[in-house]
Amino acid sequence: MKIKKRAVKKSKIKAIIFDVGGVLQKFKLSGKDALGIQEYLADKMEIALDSWFDAIDTPYGKSFIGEWNDDKVISMISENLGISKKKLIKLYEEAVFKHFEKNKELYKIVLGLKKKNYLIGILSDQWALSARYLISKEDRELFDVIVLSNEAGIRKPDIKIYKLLFEKLKSKHPGIKPSEILFIDNREYNLKPAQKLGMKVILFEDNKQCIKELNRLRVFV
């Protein structure tokens, strides 16, 4: 007597979108060493955290939504702090590499999903001094769609940036539905607009949990 094999249901998901900070880029530090980047930079410059925030407040905010270009942002912050642009860039680069490391396991999963013909994308809030270090040119080539706040002029959780993502995905896959899109982010408030549009979501905690959730949604990795 032959035993019938149960058919594995294929996922209805066609596109998988990832956040960067805390997802594609892992946080390195924890516990007492887990100073945020802003706290770390204020400490390195030997100034109060409030003074650091005062110096970066306007250019930082303008950069996140692309109202000011990179050079204007860097020039303004360096002027406010009384340091050279070169030193500012070096300090920020140092801070990024101290706080983040590439999530190599997750990138392998991304590559595997791409080989299985899923559309792969990024939706992330970035500014003048972050995107250049957290998303390399080589990594950019792996993704079909990339939506960054400093390029789009909108940031999460504004629903407009999720609609922009959807339009870009439709240009790659005409007929794709929101329910066929999965968005992975480590901030719950960033997932709510995606859910409102009908997208599937995963609240990222770590790679093991993410893989489990992908399998639950029948996205086999």
Report CA 80 to chain centroid distance, whole Å: 28
Whole-prediction pTM value? 0.90
User: Can you list the positions of beta strands (E) in 2-130?
Assistant: 15-18, 25-27, 100-102, 119-124
Calpha distance 121→133 (Å, rounded) = 18
Q: Are 29 and 35 in contact (CB under 8 A)?
A: yes
Q: In this structure, which CATH number among 2.60.40.420, 3.30.1490.20, 3.30.70.120, 3.40.50.1000 belongs to the domain 15-24+103-216? A: 3.40.50.1000
How many angstroms separate the CA atoms of 150 and 126, rounded? 6
One digit per residue, the tens of pLDDT, for the chain of length 221 reads 444 444 445 669 999 999 999 999 998 866 545 568 889 899 999 999 999 999 999 999 999 999 998 899 999 999 999 999 999 999 999 999 999 999 999 999 999 999 999 999 999 999 988 888 899 888 899 999 999 999 999 999 999 999 999 999 999 999 999 999 999 999 999 999 999 999 999 999 999 999 999 999 999 77
**pLDDT score, position 4:** 47
Which residue matches tokens 């409030």?
50
- List the domain boundaries for the chain: 15-24+103-216, 31-100
DSSP-based three-state secondary structure for 21: strand
Q: Can you give the pLDDT at residue 35?
A: 63
| pLDDT on residue 30 | 63
Token digits for 50? 């409030």
